[in-house]
Amino acid sequence: MVVSDKKILSVKSFGVRNIQTKSPMTSDSVFAVASLTKSFTVVSAALLIQKKILSWTRPVVRYLPKFRLKDAFATSEVNLQDLLTHNTGLPRHDLVWYGAKLNRESLLKKLRFLRSSQCFRCAWQYQNIMYTIAGYLVGKRARMRWERFVERRILKPLGMNSSFFSTKRARQAKKSKAGLHIATPHRMLYGRMTAVPLRDIDTVAPAAGLYSTPRDMTRWLQFFLRGGFIGKKRILSKRTLRQIYTPHIMMPNPSFFSMLSGSSLSYLTYGLGWVLLVYRKVHLVYHVGRIDGFTTLVSFIPKKNLGILVFTNTDSDSMVPLMLGCYARLLGYPKQGFLKAFWKVQKKQELRRKQRRNSLEKKRQKNTFPTYPSACYMGRYFHPAYGEIQIKSNAPNTQTCQKKPIHSLSLHFHTMRFHLRHYQKDTYQAFDPKGLMKSPSVFVKFFLNRFGQVDRLSIPLQPGISPILFTRKCQPPYRPKATSRPSSRPTSTPTSSPTSQKSVLSSSRPTSRPHPTSRPKASSQPTSKRARQVATALLFLRSKPSSNPHLKKPTRNPSERKNENKAQMPSHPKPPASPQATTRPKFIQTSKSPSQLQKTLKHPCTCLSHIKKPPSSLPATSLPTTRKVPKPQ
């Protein structure tokens, strides 16, 4: 669609809404506009700023005391403008919310556990979570939900009656087949265009949750072309529009820019909810939205009163070169081959991906096996921000992926399921059986603790940072039974005496070793720091003499103690000396060190384990010696 500030210049529809029903596409078909929702979040925040309820530069933590990042300095300095320009230092971390059932308050609490890949205000990194927090902040200050605020203040005044924020409503309208015409998302799976289900994105609605039609979005585009007016009423001031169109941070250029001859394109910059570009001295404003099976684009030139909308119900990466080619035609500029340059870059990137896969396959350590059976890896693994991963067993008759056998394990994360195939040692490779996951080299690595138990796994869920570590919530449920060995223990008969039974029990030994995955015995010593401090204090109080005279024990002379001990000791007659005894051990005291004793004994052992231990009454350096007893005459 081509739009001016007063009317729609051109509308063309191609293809179908659903590849199975063959229903035609129209300008009133409902799409998930995805990241085009960010401009609505910016305008909603600007409306409160104009009333001095919010501020662009005031720290967010003053409005939301629960807002915490891992970096303390960033926590105290992040403002609303930082949230809307993607320069907080956090990467995307989209898998925190993608497919998860969360509310925005719980998403706010998870921020403190997310690692950053850049320092604060150093680089542009696209972020959906921060736009969600900005919408949550607008709702808090407006004392209503963000969706309701946008419907009241923006959608209804503009007449966008076919636009809404509920995925549930979109599914119901799709089933009813009356009223709204919902476009079905599609993806290329295994070389075939396939319909995919609608993704529930209500949690991050301020970032990507709007459903709208191309005709409704023309009203939104004309709102900016008219300078923030709705009819004769100004909604956005000139100062606010200037703040939105001002470049705030540099963006990385698309790779196909380098393939174009001449210097007709400038560097990309990011304003507030919009990408800014200069093409042949003309200032372009645009944004692209992408979610499962939907791709949308809205762009306009404020000074030319000209805008373009492109909506499609499939994945597409060629929106930006297509937009530039359309503007070159509309403005009468010579062709530069934007699409040709784009497809050349795409082929080079595909070759690099194949080379990367081949290099990974060469580095693989073949003919290696896991440490334990598959059942020892099953269980629940937890991360405070990403949530829970479950490792379960696969059904024996599951489908194969890429004509290769699937391992007997599967990974369940939020509402997604992946098959795990053994790669090397304790590392597995994750495959999506539905083909929705583009990256084929997602590796899940298991780790053992010092007791030999599988207690952690790591998985690279976010590029740019180290793999995310999940810890096991409980001990492994699988404990293999001990192998039965023939026991040499004599069987006790009913007629055996109690003494014989005691001897049999004392001579018995354990017939099997504990499995390395078995639970270790709990130690009696306190493990936590606080428990150790309490135990030390109790020992100190017990050893300290009491100041109460009634609690003191009466003191006695050493002579009285000796007499008392002698009286308590039983008197036994001395046994007669046996003439058959030839040697008798005698303990002597020595001041030599163990190394000197070793030299004197001339024994090769260095542990002195062959020497009998002296009784507890003698020092540790006393050793038994022998002396000859004279024969009786």
pLDDT the model gives residue 204: 94
pLDDT digits (tens, 9 = 90+) for 19-29: 888 888 998 99
pLDDT at 41 over 50: yes
| Cα 428 to Cα 424: distance, rounded to the nearest angstrom | 7
Regarding predicted confidence, which is higher, 105 or 591?
105
pLDDT the model gives residue 408: 78
Is 465 inside a domain boundary?
yes
| Cα 140 to Cα 283: distance, rounded to the nearest angstrom | 35
333 φ, ψ (degrees, to nearest 5): -90, 155
The beta strand positions in 502-541, using DSSP E, are none
Residue 301's pLDDT band (boundaries 50, 70, 90)? very high
Is 72 inside a domain boundary?
yes
> Pick from 443, 472, 501: which residue ends a domain?
472
pLDDT at 505 over 50: no
Is 392 inside a domain boundary?
yes
DSSP code of 527? -
Q: Are residues 336 and 436 in the same domain?
A: no
Q: Are residues 299 and 170 in the same domain?
A: yes
pLDDT at 545 over 70: no
Regarding predicted confidence, which is higher, 136 or 255?
136
pLDDT the model gives residue 167: 87
Is 563 inside a domain boundary?
no
Pick from 292, 248, 254, 291: which is nearest to 273 by CA?
A: 248
Residue 491 contacts by C-beta under 8 Å, 6 or more apart in sequence?
none
Q: What is the domain-level CATH number for residue 466?
A: 2.40.128.600
pLDDT digits (tens, 9 = 90+) for 586-625: 444 445 554 554 444 444 443 444 444 444 444 444 444 4
Q: Which of 257-271, 485-499, 544-558 has the highest mean pLDDT?
A: 257-271
Residue 557 contacts by C-beta under 8 Å, 6 or more apart in sequence?
none
Q: Are residues 322 and 408 in the same domain?
A: no
pLDDT digits (tens, 9 = 90+) for 142-194: 999 999 999 999 999 999 999 999 888 888 887 766 567 889 999 888 778 88
Domain that holds residue 294: 2-341
Q: Are residues 336 and 461 in the same domain?
A: no
Residue 583's pLDDT band (boundaries 50, 70, 90)? very low
> Pick from 472, 490, 522: which residue ends a domain?
472
Amino acid at 485: R
Q: Are residues 322 and 382 in the same domain?
A: no
Pick from 128, 134, 124: which is nearest to 42 by CA?
A: 134
Q: Are residues 148 and 54 in the same domain?
A: yes
Distances (CA, A) of 440 to 145, 218, 429, 469, 515: 39, 39, 8, 20, 35
Is 564 inside a domain boundary?
no
Residue 554 contacts by C-beta under 8 Å, 6 or more apart in sequence?
none
pLDDT at 387 over 70: yes
Q: Are residues 459 and 384 in the same domain?
A: yes
**Where does 18-128 have alpha helices with state H?**
37-50, 60-63, 72-77, 80-85, 104-110
Is 170 inside a domain boundary?
yes
Handedness of CA 319, 325, 326, 328 (dihedral sign): positive
Neighbouring C-beta atoms of residue 98, cutoff 10 Å: 21
Is 574 inside a domain boundary?
no
| Three-state secondary structure call for residue 556 | coil
Tell me what the mean pLDDT of segment 114-133 comes to.
94
Is residue 446 within 8 Å of 391, Cβ to Cβ?
no
Residue 122's pLDDT band (boundaries 50, 70, 90)? very high
| Three-state secondary structure call for residue 403 | coil
pLDDT digits (tens, 9 = 90+) for 48-64: 999 999 999 999 999 99
Q: Are residues 193 and 328 in the same domain?
A: yes
> Pick from 472, 489, 517: which residue ends a domain?
472
pLDDT the model gives residue 188: 85
Q: Are residues 94 and 168 in the same domain?
A: yes
Residue 575's pLDDT band (boundaries 50, 70, 90)? low
Neighbouring C-beta atoms of residue 332, cutoff 10 Å: 6
Q: Are residues 159 and 232 in the same domain?
A: yes
Q: Are residues 300 and 397 in the same domain?
A: no
Token couple for 214? 């191309």
Is residue 627 within 8 Å of 584, Cβ to Cβ?
yes
pLDDT the model gives residue 615: 47
Is residue 181 within 8 Å of 28, Cβ to Cβ?
yes
Pick from 487, 488, 489: which is nearest to 505 by CA?
A: 489
Is 529 inside a domain boundary?
no
Q: Are residues 299 and 226 in the same domain?
A: yes
pLDDT the model gives residue 140: 95
Is residue 129 within 8 Å of 107, Cβ to Cβ?
yes
Q: What is the domain-level CATH number for residue 202?
A: 3.40.710.10
Count of structural domains, the chain = 2
Considering all CA atoms of the chain, what is the largest pairwise distance in Å, rounded to the nearest integer? Answer: 138
pLDDT the model gives residue 558: 55
| Three-state secondary structure call for residue 79 | strand
Helices and strands (DSSP H and E) totals, the chain:
18, 25
Record the pTM. 0.73
